[in-house]
């Protein structure tokens, strides 16, 4: 998707205003606010006079540079505290003013009483741990105070304030963070690299004195006006690191931009940790962007470093510490070689780097970013595993992979926009599980986890009617892998309930994918196997009944939609019997309690499909069709209202509105159908915009437009009908081009060209009629191939 349309999609995330005037104002404001005042006229000239006047007055306010709402109420509260401390005495120092609030605590500028020349930065350490902190400080101060380097801010003193709060006094550096400095002075890449080399020199010196920084980031590198960089807070992270409150760990995980994988995991920290953080800093200095920042506005998007610098960054940021540069000196040497035009030593980019590119390309929510961190964590543990450090590691990899696949994946699955994150998650976890499974062939629980993971990745790849990536072939492959595993476990342990469930799940899903490939015999065979397995399960839980009902509905679909393909010998039930078996099965599920939402979904689904069946030729009974569609609409509407944030539930409800519209179209109730599709279109558009990678959302959109085209055809609104139909055609053509395994949409295209032919006929345009008719026939033929 190009940037322009992405911006448009982002704007659509906010609901329209009740008054179209204000929507126009908003749109024009957004379009012109980013432009220089001189460039705006061209845009504004085209606008309606009232809209223009409103936007101009807003732009005038926008251009006002007086600070306004630039800090939150909480910042004011914070500052009140800083003002209170001004003039206070901390040890031998007097506070002058607050400098800022850092991650570890508030920083003040202070002077030593009586010696006005000595300015220090006092850091009040939040959560430093009182007496324990002072103990640690005593142990470390000798070493830290001995660090004397022109690019390291010295530690001067430390202790506790009169009210018992730990503090540190450090050399005050009058400068700005290195990233700001580079930007403000528009430094060239070579100048940035030279600045970076001075830093490396400082870190290398400290490492020579057995001190690890642990928290290298731009905020800790201040550059003076003369251009001298100074590293702050050397070794300070260790002093405050005994702070083991749970929330501190969480905070770390959520803001991991500079922390190395081993730090995120609370593993052993070494000089390699600083090499990693220097790598992140280098990335940022040369690109102007953080490798792991999410939610960046499209226009801020920067390319990751390429070429030699890219390789240097990648090697510094290796997940496995042993594969990074062996020392800061080696890193600096490579940067020097690059500057001097000599060949560098760094190897090719690796996963961590690729993951960073992924994070850069995808604007993901907080949850997804956290999930990516978890993936990186797995990558790290897994590399340790490969070295067979200990049996314990094996269990760690496994439990982490399991939590990624089953917990994190499920937690983000219903969030709009999470599809790419889900794929990355599951795919990475699968690699590690594969490795483990090779070593533990006879470990049944592990084999089961592996099978479950294959099902999950198949879902993300292409389970129809859920958010997926549209990779039909990939999904089938994954499900068949799961099936093979489940079969082998089930053969050994016929009593294993989980194996039986996994087997049924795999069969069911293969059936669903085969439905999309229009191979109804395969679909029915798979669903029948799943049904037989599910009926064997004892004792039965409500969950089992819900799953069985789902399978029954699928069987109904297979025999109804695929009737022409399915040989007589396979016709065990009629579609109606299958759907009613589903409703009958659902009678066993308690109406209230934890399964309410799923019960509504399955009930809605069964009625929906019955409604569809009664609409069609053989079972034609429109009164029954509409009654079932109404029942389905009620159930799915209630379900969507139970959890307004559940994108899948909202999608299913909107989809039902379209299904009902198909029935309304069939009884020539164009007005009813138009109302339903209009309502559905708003939801589907929103969901598609929120998750542009989700192919299913595109299928849905095409379906809404298709039915909208029909409705308008009934209402004799030829232009509206043609417009909606063309929208549907554009989407389906894209879908077919992207996934050759998808025949359903080829057939769908044929239907749409049929609508265009009808519009042509009604308008008396014989040429259009003939042209579109031919196109429709051609497509229909190719869908059967």
Which residue ranges make up the site for another protein (CB under 8 A)?
7, 10-11, 13-15, 17, 19, 22, 26, 29-30, 33, 57-62, 64, 66-69, 72-81, 83-84, 101-102, 105-106, 124, 126-128, 163-165, 247, 294-298, 363, 365-367, 411, 416-417, 641-645, 690
535, two tokens: 């009926």
Neighbours of 424 (CB within 10 A): 21
- CB of 300 vs another protein, minimal distance in Å: 9
Count of residues making up the chain: 785
Name the E strands within 405-514: none
- CB of 487 vs another protein, minimal distance in Å: 36
- CB of 160 vs another protein, minimal distance in Å: 11
Nearer residue to another protein within complex by CB, 126 or 543? 126
Nearer residue to another protein within complex by CB, 92 or 127? 127
Nearer residue to another protein within complex by CB, 31 or 521? 31
Nearer residue to another protein within complex by CB, 397 or 687? 687
Compute the distance between CA of residue 630 and CA of residue 634 in angstroms, rounded to an integer.
6
- CB of 17 vs another protein, minimal distance in Å: 6
Cα distances from 374 to residues 317, 413, 558, 634, in angstroms, run 16, 16, 40, 40
Active-site option among 157, 201, 215, 558: 215
Nearer residue to another protein within complex by CB, 66 or 441? 66
What are phi and psi for residue 135, nearest 5 degrees?
-60, -50
Cβ atoms 205, 158 nearer than 8 A: no
Compute the distance between CA of residue 773 and CA of residue 779 in angstroms, rounded to an integer.
10
Give 680-688's long-range contacts (Cβ < 8 A, gap of 24+).
680/654, 680/655, 680/704, 681/705, 681/708, 683/650, 683/651, 683/653, 683/654, 684/651, 684/654, 685/12, 686/12, 686/13, 687/416, 687/647, 687/650, 687/651, 687/654
Query: Across the chain, which distance is largest between two alpha carbons, in Å?
Result: 102
The crossing angle, in degrees rounded to 10, of helices 3-12 and 670-690 is: 120
Cβ atoms 311, 349 nearer than 8 A: yes
Nearer residue to another protein within complex by CB, 37 or 445? 37
- CB of 125 vs another protein, minimal distance in Å: 9
- CB of 82 vs another protein, minimal distance in Å: 9
Going across the sheet that includes 221-224, the strands are 175-177, 221-224, 229-231
The crossing angle, in degrees rounded to 10, of helices 647-666 and 622-642 is: 160
Compute the distance between CA of residue 269 and CA of residue 771 in angstroms, rounded to an integer.
70
Three-state DSSP state, 132 = helix
Nearer residue to another protein within complex by CB, 349 or 417? 417
CA-nearest of 132, 109, 161 to 239 is 132
Cβ atoms 166, 137 nearer than 8 A: yes
Nearer residue to another protein within complex by CB, 369 or 673? 369
CA-nearest of 298, 285, 272, 329 to 182 is 285
- CB of 13 vs another protein, minimal distance in Å: 4
Nearer residue to another protein within complex by CB, 650 or 732? 650
Contact residues for 346 (Cβ-Cβ < 8 A; gap 6+)? 308, 311, 312, 314, 315, 325, 334
Going across the sheet that includes 166-171, the strands are 89-90, 93-101, 106-112, 115-124, 166-171, 155-160
Nearer residue to another protein within complex by CB, 125 or 331? 125
- CB of 302 vs another protein, minimal distance in Å: 15
- CB of 640 vs another protein, minimal distance in Å: 11
The number of C-alpha atoms within 13 Å of 180 and in the hemisphere containing its C-beta is 11
164, two tokens: 């018992």
Q: Is the dihedral of CA 410, 415, 418, 421 positive or negative?
A: negative
Compute the distance between CA of residue 416 and CA of residue 172 in angstroms, rounded to an integer.
47
Look up 19 and say whether it is catalytic: no
Cβ atoms 172, 192 nearer than 8 A: no
The number of C-alpha atoms within 13 Å of 302 and in the hemisphere containing its C-beta is 16
- Residue matched to tokens 């008719």: 773
On the question of a cis peptide bond just before residue 495, with omega within 30 degrees of 0, the verdict is: no
Residue 208: enclosing H or E segment and its boundaries?
Answer: helix 189-208
Nearer residue to another protein within complex by CB, 77 or 767? 77
- CB of 284 vs another protein, minimal distance in Å: 18
- CB of 641 vs another protein, minimal distance in Å: 6
- CB of 596 vs another protein, minimal distance in Å: 12
- CB of 10 vs another protein, minimal distance in Å: 5
Runs of H (alpha helix) within 591-743: 596-615, 622-642, 647-666, 670-690, 695-714, 718-738
Cβ atoms 137, 241 nearer than 8 A: no
Q: Which residues participate in catalysis according to the annotation?
A: 215
């Amino acid at each position: 998707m190009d940037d322009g349309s992405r911006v448009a999609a982002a704007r659509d995330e906010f609901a329209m205003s009740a008054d179209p005037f204000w929507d126009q104002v908003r749109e024009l404001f957004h379009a012109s606010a980013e432009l220089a005042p001189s460039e705006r006229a061209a845009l504004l000239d085209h606008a309606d006079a009232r809209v223009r006047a409103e936007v101009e007055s807003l732009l005038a306010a926008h251009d006002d540079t007086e600070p306004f709402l630039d800090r939150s109420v909480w910042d004011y509260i914070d500052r009140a505290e800083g003002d209170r401390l001004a003039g206070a005495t901390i040890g031998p120092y007097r506070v002058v003013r607050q400098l800022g609030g850092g991650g570890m605590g508030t920083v003040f500028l202070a002077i030593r009483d009586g010696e006005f020349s000595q300015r220090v930065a006092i850091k009040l350490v939040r959560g430093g741990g009182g007496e324990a902190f002072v103990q640690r400080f005593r142990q470390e101060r000798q070493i830290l105070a001995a660090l004397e380097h022109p690019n390291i801010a010295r530690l001067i003193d430390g202790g506790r304030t009169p009210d018992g709060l730990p503090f540190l006094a450090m050399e005050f550096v009058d400068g700005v963070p290195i990233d700001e400095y580079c930007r403000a002075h528009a430094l060239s890449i070579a100048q940035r690299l030279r600045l970076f080399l001075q830093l490396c020199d400082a870190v290398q010196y400290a490492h020579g004195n057995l001190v690890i920084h642990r928290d290298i980031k731009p905020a800790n590198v201040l550059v003076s006006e003369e251009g001298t960089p100074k590293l702050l807070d050397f070794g300070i992270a260790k002093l405050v690191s005994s702070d083991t409150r749970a929330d501190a760990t969480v905070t770390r995980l959520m803001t991991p931009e500079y922390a190395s994988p081993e730090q995120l995991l609370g593993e052993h920290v070494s000089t390699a940790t600083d090499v990693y953080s220097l790598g992140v800093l280098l990335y940022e200095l040369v690109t102007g962007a953080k490798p792991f920042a999410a939610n960046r506005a499209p226009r801020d998007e920067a390319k990751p470093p390429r070429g030699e610098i890219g390789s240097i960054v990648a090697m510094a940021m290796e997940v496995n510490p042993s594969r990074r540069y062996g020392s800061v000196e080696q890193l600096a040497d490579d940067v020097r070689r690059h500057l001097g035009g000599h060949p560098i030593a760094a190897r090719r980019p690796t996963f961590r780097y690729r993951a960073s590119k992924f994070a850069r390309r995808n604007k993901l929510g907080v949850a997804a970013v956290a999930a990516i961190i978890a993936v990186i964590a797995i990558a790290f543990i897994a590399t340790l595993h490969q070295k067979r450090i200990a049996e314990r590691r094996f269990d760690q990899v496994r439990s982490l992979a399991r939590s990624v696949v089953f917990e994190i994946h499920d937690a983000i699955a219903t969030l709009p926009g999470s599809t790419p994150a889900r794929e990355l998650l599951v795919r990475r976890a699968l690699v590690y599980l594969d490795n483990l499974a090779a070593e533990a062939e006879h470990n049944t629980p592990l084999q089961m986890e592996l099978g479950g993971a294959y099902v999950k990745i198949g879902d993300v790849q292409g389970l129809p009617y859920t958010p997926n990536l549209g990779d039909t072939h990939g999904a089938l492959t994954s499900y068949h892998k799961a099936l093979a595993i489940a079969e082998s476990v089930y053969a050994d342990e016929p009593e294993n309930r989980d194996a039986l469930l996994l087997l049924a799940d795999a069969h069911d899903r293969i059936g669903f994918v085969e439905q999309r490939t229009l191979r109804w015999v395969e679909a029915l065979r798979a669903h029948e196997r799943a049904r037989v397995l599910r009926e064997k399960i004892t004792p039965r839980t409500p969950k089992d009944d819900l799953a069985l009902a789902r399978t029954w509905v699928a069987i109904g679909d297979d025999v109804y939609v695929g009737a022409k393909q399915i040989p007589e010998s396979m016709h065990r039930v009629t579609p109606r019997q299958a759907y009613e078996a589903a409703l009958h099965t659902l009678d066993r599920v308690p109406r209230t309690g934890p399964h309410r939402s799923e019960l509504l979904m399955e009930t809605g689904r069964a009625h929906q499909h019955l409604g569809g069946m009664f609409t069609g030729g053989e079972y034609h009974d429109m009164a029954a069709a509409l009654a079932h569609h109404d029942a389905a609409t009620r159930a799915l509407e209630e379900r969507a209202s139970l959890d307004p944030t559940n994108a899948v539930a909202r999608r299913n409800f909107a989809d039902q509105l379209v299904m009902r519209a198909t029935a309304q179209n069939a009884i020539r109730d164009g007005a009813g159908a138009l109302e339903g599709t209009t309502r559905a279109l708003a939801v589907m558009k929103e969901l598609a915009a929120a998750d542009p990678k989700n192919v299913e959302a595109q299928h849905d959109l095409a379906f809404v437009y298709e039915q909208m085209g029909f409705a308008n055809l009934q209402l004799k609104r030829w232009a509206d009908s043609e417009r909606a139909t063309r929208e549907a055609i554009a989407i389906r053509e894209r879908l077919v081009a992207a996934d050759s395994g998808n025949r359903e949409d080829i057939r769908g295209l044929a239907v749409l060209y049929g609508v265009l032919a009808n519009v042509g006929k009604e308008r008396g345009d014989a040429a259009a009629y003939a042209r579109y008719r031919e196109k429709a026939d051609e497509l229909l033929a190719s869908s059967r191939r």
